[in-house]
Structure 1
Amino acid sequence: MGTTPQATHVADVPAAMDRALALAALGPAHGPNPRVGCVLLAPQRHGDTHRTVIGEGWHRGAGTPHAEVAALADARARGNDPRGTTAVVTLEPCNHTGRTGPCAQALLDAGVAEVVHALDDPGAASGGGAAHLRDHGVPVQPGPRQAEALGLVRAWHHAVRTGRPYVTLKLATTLDGRVAALDGTSRWITGPDARAHAHAVRATVDAIAVTTGTALADDPALTARTPDGTRTEHQPLRVVVGHRDLPTTSRLHGPGGELLHLHTHDVHHVLDELHTRHVRHLLVEGGPALATAMLRAALVDQVHAYIAPMLLGTGPTAVNPLGITTLTAAPRWQTHHLQQLGPDALLVARTTDTSHTPDQES
């Protein structure tokens, strides 16, 4: 069923999980559903050192078959009987009916003998697939690569677990944290490589948010574009936060994702509204007022800090005062990733609360 090369043998379950993770990564990072991959291993016979892969699949987006169902269909298309197989899945099979039926029941109906999954499903509605399988006599085992599986579904996992979108705050500053010069000029602090990376990130999120102040001052389109200026296939929801109206000539009324204007300054209301719209990953791009409000409310989960090797010494900063008066009161973040982008640098930092994640981060 896929367009990727089909493996014929794997040595063990960890290798099958690696393959399932590679398949899962083919699915879209955006959207209401998680990226999941599944590999079906033929029944193990005494003395076997390799188990044949008889089917594999991944989830291609909302409304399409889930990974387990795709793998079962792939097995049958190859002329293989899935009875007695081991399903190696990156995420616990779901146990609810949405646009598609429950994967746990599909595996039962197909006669799968064992399930190994890397990550538990935290959803109140979608979770429980492992218990359903066990209740019907199918052993379910925790699998390897939990951190890698979480890395593929981090925003979805967070949104399902907490009831609000995963929030990434984008900052583009000079070395001394300035976002514009004293005269207001700000284009461009970072170079084309950093801007291209930022557009690639836009193409993976569900929504982008700015304030009405930023929308009125900069007239952004808030589209995701390739380096040659072409709009990408996926365009995130464009969210404007604030009470002032936007002119009908605004670029936000032009081609791109749907425009949602939330006439509020309450960031909790913003996230509640976006959650009802199944937004899993929100990118906050501007301005300082929205960044500050999100940080003050402890609602930022990740920061993408694009830093240009430039000094201004004065001018507006990326974040307004947070009310922190002593160093010990400052929140500490974990540096997750550092990358050079042309002359600029990207630092990705995440909150230090990892109580819901595996011991090793992806």
Structure 2
Amino acid sequence: MDLLTPPPDLYGRPRADRFLRGLTAIQDRYVQALGGPLLRRSPRRPLSRPTPPLRLVVAARRELAADVIELSLTGPSGGQLPPWQPGAHLRLVLPSGRERHYSLSGDPADRRSYRIAVRKLPEGGGGSVEIHDTLHPGARLTARSPRNGFAFCAEPTVLLLAGGIGVTPLLPMAREAQRHGLDWRLVHVGRSADTLPYADELRALDPHRVVLRTDDEHGGVPTGAELLAHAPRGAAVYCCGPAPMLAAVQRALDESPACALHFERFGAAPITDGKPFAVRLGTDGPILEVPADRSALDVLREARPDLPYSCHQGFCGTCEVRLRSGTPDHRDRRLTAEQRAAGALLPCVSRAAEGETLVLDV
């Protein structure tokens, strides 16, 4: 029997009763509205709807450390903001149109404000300089709802390793670990004491679980083994910091007491297996050579300085361009198979085979 066709009567009688006639009519209208048979799509998967951008106001600004400011962001009416979990980031659209991601450093229990910390990088892409120079109390901007690519799993034993401004996603994790009575440690490293944001806030959580370690007092940058020596046996490690710090921790992990590593990078991972290829700007545009140790995005921005970008890691989608021809090696963590087939490409991480030329609409 067709599963979509009900029996003529609940009790097997040859004449359909009134209840089932009504039920069948409702089902037929429902199927017609869906445009096809029932159960074509999973009932657990709701229809996707565009999410409107968040409207935010800078409610407060304060100096945290050398070249680091904190912004408190609220809704224009002071109402509740979308929820988030430790490790989440906020994608801000700055007044210039630049888009940048910043980890949320506040308390997820506070639904009326978001808190971010930004270190000024004059040699960077201009986002941090714009924030430092132009965003003061009363400034308005838009954002995407918080997303989390660095989720805290709240394992029973945890070591948090922060490098400089990398403490921002780890501070909410430490707060969560303290709240749930986990066995946690946090090591915060930096060049000097004045470069470490949130030092006082960390100590206030539990001074016996927090280690502040500066290069000027210890004769240089710590090794991965030195950092992981703080891990209790079987600890899960969460690490956020510059690429050399993360690489050192990764190399030392197998010989350490820790059993797992979660991490978030400041920027793109080093290119270790790249091959030289080329990109062409349109069908008649110039051909740009992409060396084995550079990204296509970096090369493209030399020719198109206004090309938008943000994460450098293939998860935000800000730098998306259209592929006209060529065979890319997609290395992003965002695009679906359908989007790739339609020509979407993220040049911050995607590459091509040696000698290949990708023709792009830029």
- Which structure is higher in strand share? 2
TM-score normalised over the length of structure 2: 0.29
**TM-score of the pair, normalised by structure 1:** 0.29
Relative contact order, CA 8 A, sep 6+: which one is greater? 1
